[in-house]
Amino acid sequence: MQFDHDLQSIQEVRDIIRRAKTAQKQIAEYSQPQIDGIIKAIAEDCAANAERLAKMAVQETGFGVWQDKVLKNMLGSKMTYAYCKDMKTVGIISEDPAAGIFEVAVPMGIIAALIPSTNPTSTTMYKAIISLKAGNAVVFSPHPGAKECILETVRIIQAAAAKAGAPEHIVQSISLTTMEATSTLMRHPDIGLILATGGEAMVHAAYSSGNPAIGVGPGNGPAFIERSANIPLAVSRIFDSKTFDNGTICSSEQSIVTESCIKDKVVAEVRAQGGYFLSPEESERLGKLLLRANGTMNPQIVGKSAGTLADMAGIPVSPGTRVLVSEQTTVSCKNPYSREKLCPILAFYTEDGWESACLRCIEILNNEGIGHTMTIHSENDAVIREFALKKPISRLLVNTPAALGGVGATTALAPALTLGCGAVGGSATSDNVTPLNLINIRRIAQGVRELADLRGQGEAVAAPPQQETAGITKAEIAAITKAVMEKLNIH
């Protein structure tokens, strides 16, 4: 009997989860050194294949720059391993003898790892390492547009894990990619946690699945250039970030916001470093390419160079153009320049002072990307502190390229390709997600006081130390206190 493709994909998921459940029970018995040996082997083999997988990803998806994807692959493998290799994630992970408490790491079970097309190979490496480090099995759901490079990455991970002694089927992937398969994976009762990195609709589906989930929605981070900033360096950092892998990292800058007193200097520097300011007519023409009729980002623009985007819109630009810049005065869901643009396009806003710029940045974030990331370029600690206190974000990056700073490459943040957006962004965490987000903690607490001690404390608090107070004896006060406690049903 020949089954329909969607039915076959559903059955594949059920079979995968059954095998993953068995494998996870086995790895749950492994020691910390055994686990660490497995993730080390995975990181090393992924790093050894970083260039080949980067080229595969660009060829298959048409997104980004393979040289930059090599760096992403190194972040998803060796940098992730280096950050988490000394973490305690197995057995007893902390003890406080004085308090009579110790903590035990408990794996979540099976991690459902949804992989986007923008960072396909690096995200697969990263999620495999953090999942196994926490003692979990992992099942990947590849984006259909990046299926082959993801599956090849999974094969490398599987071989490395097996070589290091991991249980068979501890790492698996859906090969029949359908919406029904992904939905079955996310809703399966044996899934411990969903790690959802991708589009807003997919993240919403993960949170609606009935299983625990950590999801990451869109970024839309503004970059504020404050008057005290080193302007050439600030523009250089923003352009390095926005052109890195052609803007496919969600923490990358989407707008420049600056002050009117330095606008001319910033504009001159933007032009000097390869920025092309679009005319109003050109902005309108390009803007029609950025969003689809349903208000979502047009996938045809994702990961394309500035020159390619200009050609698509029929805008003549010089060969050295790195970023297309559109001067804007409004923010709305219908203004494509105030939305997330995973390509080298920036909006440009001018405000009278940092207070007004602060409000503009909040407006941009509330429009899209709330809870995610933004950047400030400034040498004024007071202004930086004010931005830190007021912005509805999980990461404020200071004097660094946002694309690389947000994922922990140019900052001391945890290396991560899943960046939590906090409660304000509809996410379960505001962390750069690490293995510690993929374990539960069982707390063992010894008794340190008895009920009689608690009652005695209550009476001691209620009864003043004086023998007599306003003619009432200590014994009378104790009797009144006891009567009141009984009346209030306090025992």
Residues carrying an active site annotation: 250
Burial of 104 (0-12, 13-18, 19+ CB in 10 A): middle
* One-letter amino acid of 315: I
Residue 191, helix vs strand vs coil: strand
Q: Token digits for 70? A: 């090599």
d(CA 284, CA 309): 13
d(CA 239, CA 227): 19
Residue 143, helix vs strand vs coil: coil
Could you tell me which of 168, 165, 171, 122 has the C-alpha nearest to residue 36?
A: 165
**Chain-centre distance of CA 152, in angstroms?**
24
User: 277 - beta bridge partners?
Assistant: 325
Residue 444, phi then psi, degrees to nearest 5: -110, 120
Helices H / strands E in the chain, number of each: 18, 17
**Other beta carbons less than 10 A from residue 203's beta carbon:** 24
Residue with tokens 């208000």: 295
Tell which phi-psi region holds residue 10, choosing left (phi > 0), alpha (psi between -120 and 50) or beta: alpha
Could you tell me which of 18, 137, 128 has the C-alpha nearest to residue 81?
A: 128
d(CA 341, CA 254): 6
Is there a contact between 132 and 39 (Cβ–Cβ < 8 Å)?
yes
d(CA 407, CA 8): 37
d(CA 154, CA 47): 13
Residue with tokens 């994702």: 302
- Alpha carbon distance, N-terminus to C-terminus of the chain: 70
Residue with tokens 């794996």: 107
Alpha helices in 368-473 (DSSP H): 381-390, 402-406, 451-462
Beta strands in 130-267 (DSSP E): 137-142, 171-173, 191-197, 213-216, 221-225, 253-259
Is there a contact between 408 and 415 (Cβ–Cβ < 8 Å)?
yes
d(CA 388, CA 374): 10
d(CA 402, CA 249): 9
